[in-house]
Structures are given as C-alpha cells and as structure tokens.
Amino acid sequence: MTTYAHAHAHAHAHAHAHAHAHANASNSHYAYFDDALHRALPNENDWSTHQRVSYVRSAGNWVPYPYQNNVSQLPLDLRVKCVDGLLAAAEHRAQTAGQKPKNFDEWIVRNMGEGIADLFMRPYNFKVWGTPTHKMQCKWLGERVAAPNVRTVVKNALTMQTAGNWGPNATFKFPMKDGTGGIWTAVAKKLPIKRFRLGRSGEVKKVNGASKVVEFGDGRKIKYQNLVSTMALDGMLDLLDGGANGTKSVEKMRVAAKEGLVYSTTIVLGIGIRGKRPDRIGDKCWLYFPEDNAPFYRATIFSNYSPYNCPQTDVKLPTIQKADSSLPFDKESKEGPYWSLMLEVCQSDEKPVNLDTLMADTIRGAVATELMLPTDEIVSVYERRFDHGYPTPSLGRDGALAQILPALRDEFNIRSRGRFGSWKYECGNQDHSFMLGVEAVDNALFGTPEMTLHETDWVNGRRNIERRLV
C-alpha cells in the first residue's frame, strides 16, 4: 500500500481521534487513486520516501506516537496515573460488555482510562477540533485510533521500553518538488484541458435546482443534468434556489445544516530558519502538542520532506528576527543552510484565537516546546487561514446528512461530495475525496453504488483493487 503525504494547506490528516495517523499524510485505500498519481508522476525521482517518525510533546518529554502505547516515557507519577486508568478501563469494559459509548469522550475513557484522557486525548482533541470530546460522536473513529494493549503498556511502563510503530502510514511518500499542489497539477495535465473552465466565470452566485442551471458572477449560466459539487455543504445550501416546488425542502435542509453541521477553521503557519537542522529535531516528521504552552496542535518538520522545500544553501536571505524577539540580530543577508517548520492552529466558536498575535504566540510556543532555540534566526514567516478546516464529527452530523445529501440528489440531481461536500471526516483525506468524485460520476451515469460515502468503514478497512485506471 502506498501513502502520499501532503502539506496541510488544507486537505490534515491530520489524524487524527487525532491520536491517529498524520493528517498531513493521506493513506491510500485505492489502487485507482495510486494509478492516477503514478501516471501523473511516474518516475522514482518524482517522490521522496520517508519512515514516519512521530512524537507527542508531553510533560517536557517526547513520547513516541501513539501516546497510549508509550506512556512508559512519562515521569513516574504520570505513568502510574495512565496505567491505573487503563486497568480501571479494562475492568469497566469487562463489567459492561455489550454497552456502547454515547460520545467520543465516553469512548476515550472506556478504552484508555481517565489518565490518558486527561493528559492527552481530551486536551489534544480540543486543540484540533475546537469542540469538547463530549460533543463529538465516536462512529467516525474506525482505524484511526490505536486501542492500547493493556498488558503491553503495563510491561513497557515497568521496563521503560517503547512500543513499535502503529498506523496506516508508517511509510509515506511526498512529492520531491512543488508540494501537494504539484501532484494535482500533474494529474490535471493528463486530462482533456479543453473541458476545464478554471476561474473564467467568477464565483458561483446561484444554483437553480428547479431548472438545473448554475449562475456565475459574470452572468454566465451553465445548464446541468447531474451536478457534482465540492463546495462546502453549508455554502451550497446558501446558494441553492429550490424553485416554487422546492423552497420548503431547501429551507428544511438549511435548518438541518445549521443545527447539525459543525466545523473548525485551520490556520497554517510556516517558519523558515537559518542554520543546520538541529540534532534534537533529527528526522522527525510530525509532532503533536496537547498542552497549553503552545497554540498549535501539530508541527511538521517540512524541510525533512524534500530538500526542495527550503531555499538552497547558497541563497542569501536577511534575518527578520531571532526566535526570542527581544534579542538583537544582524539584518545583513547571509547564506544558509535552512530548515523549516509548518504548524497548525484550530479556531472555532468554542476556541477563539487572537489572529493579531498568533504568529508571535506560535514562535514563543515553538521555543517553549524546544522546537526552536531563542537564538534561532528566522528568515521567513507564512500564515494562511482556511475557514473550513475540519468537518467535525458532531453528535448531530449524521442526522443532518441523512436529511440533506439524499434530498439534494433525488430532488435536484446534485451530488455534494468531497471533504466538506460530504462533511464526513472519516472519508475526507485526498484519496477519499478523489474517489468520492469518481464514484459520484459513476453513480450518476451507471447507478453504481458510492461505497466511499455510504460504506466508509468497509472502504477504510481494506485495500480497494476492484477498479483500476486503464
């Protein structure tokens, strides 16, 4: 199975009970998807291959991922708290066999105990989702969270050993040049470009579901028979005109979306640093941060993914500040080498963020967590806000989707698909999103079932080789 990593700008993913595999790395479940990428970038030197090296920053230590299997690396008092919670959870499961947790928080405590819940799962997931775990469902988890083996955890806690790698993307690929966007530019070049109208018609202003016409900002109108939309579902409903017979149906869908669909905003920050990559960073790929001494929930050592993700050593750049902004610095342009960090911050109604100070807060957090030293020379910074970052698996999500998605298809021939079109995080990685589109077209043309959307657990639990790209 091949894995393709991608920068969170923003496809995620992350990973994650967000104790899962990196959302920066999208694990492919489909031979068809791999075929398309191989056709677009067929050469070995188009890709760099990496072993996942991932840690959680906890109590001043780097705890190997997954956290729940490596509490042996915590200080003794926290180790005892985690093991005691695991044993209590195992006893509780034995006494309540057959009972199912009602929400994500109950799932966490039932499987991992209060110790791991308090130290990692609750604070980390709130930093990721901006929603408390008791307001999230747990059906979405599937393969994404490692259930700890209690005997192994206890043994490792006593011997101070660490557990081996777990997860769907222990090895992953990243494009050598042009980042994740370069993948899809290359894929597009294999398609009939004359059929594309990219940015030519302005924004979509209205979708007339009754007459099946899409209206654009420049006045252009396009008639459709079947419409596959990757717009965020809430935005699509805002633009949808149901006509005389469909007005009540559209209003009902809008109410369902408002009551049941929750999302968070993702802010991606980049920091370019002069100097040789420090030994303390090494070959780490991505790192999780559950504690409140940094605003970001995840950091990626982006320069580790490809030598072309940073300027070459002979490029001269001026220093814009030291990591500790109170320290003096030389403003004259100098050569490298360079390395870089990519950091992710969640913003939501329940988790506000001060955008005016976020970059400064992020740099301070990088120093507090030993990603950077106070004397490190910063040569570039980057910040971008993605309003729709994560589609939250909220308690009301499935009920809302059950009202909205079939009605859009059956009444207006609209198939809303993709990360925010389908609003299902568990099939929101780039391989899923790709296949949601493929399967939507097949369903419209031939009536074939959309397995990724409707049988997500089945898709995620296997390698799908039934369809290949010919």
Q: What is the DSSP string of 300-333?
A: E-GGGT-GGGS--TT--B---EESSTTS----S-
Which pLDDT does position 5 carry in this prediction?
35
**306-338 residues labelled b (16+ CB within 10 A) or e (exposed):** beebbbeeeeebebebbbeeeeeeeeeeeebbb
Which pLDDT does position 21 carry in this prediction?
33
User: Does the pLDDT value for residue 190 go beyond 70?
Assistant: yes
Token couple for 322: 């030291």
Q: What percent of the chain has pLDDT over 70?
A: 91
Of 95-99, 166-170, 322-326, 389-393, the least confident: 166-170
Of 195-199, 247-251, 271-275, 333-337, the least confident: 195-199
User: Does the pLDDT value for residue 22 go beyond 80?
Assistant: no
Which pLDDT does position 301 carry in this prediction?
95
Of 179-183, 272-276, 348-352, the least confident: 179-183
Of 77-86, 169-178, 299-308, 333-342, the least confident: 169-178
The stretch 61-66 carries a mean pLDDT of 91
Token couple for 217: 């900002």
Split at pLDDT 50, 70, 90, the class of 152 is confident
Token couple for 52: 């996942």
Q: Which residue has the higher pLDDT, 153 or 27?
A: 153
Which pLDDT does position 168 carry in this prediction?
55
Of 43-57, 133-147, 305-319, the least confident: 133-147
Split at pLDDT 50, 70, 90, the class of 193 is confident
Residue type, 224: Y
Which pLDDT does position 396 carry in this prediction?
97
Can you tell me which residue has the tokens 């809008």? 254
Split at pLDDT 50, 70, 90, the class of 200 is low
Nearest to 355 by CA among 434, 269, 424, 444: 269
What number of residues does the chain have? 470
Which pLDDT does position 159 carry in this prediction?
84
Q: What percent of the chain has pLDDT over 90?
A: 75
Interacting residues of 431 by C-beta distance below 8 A, sequence separation 6+? 4, 26, 27, 28, 29, 30, 33
Split at pLDDT 50, 70, 90, the class of 154 is confident
Residues 220, 217: Cα–Cα separation, whole Å: 7
Which pLDDT does position 149 carry in this prediction?
81
User: Does the pLDDT value for residue 391 go beyond 50?
Assistant: yes
The stretch 321-346 carries a mean pLDDT of 97
Which pLDDT does position 144 carry in this prediction?
53
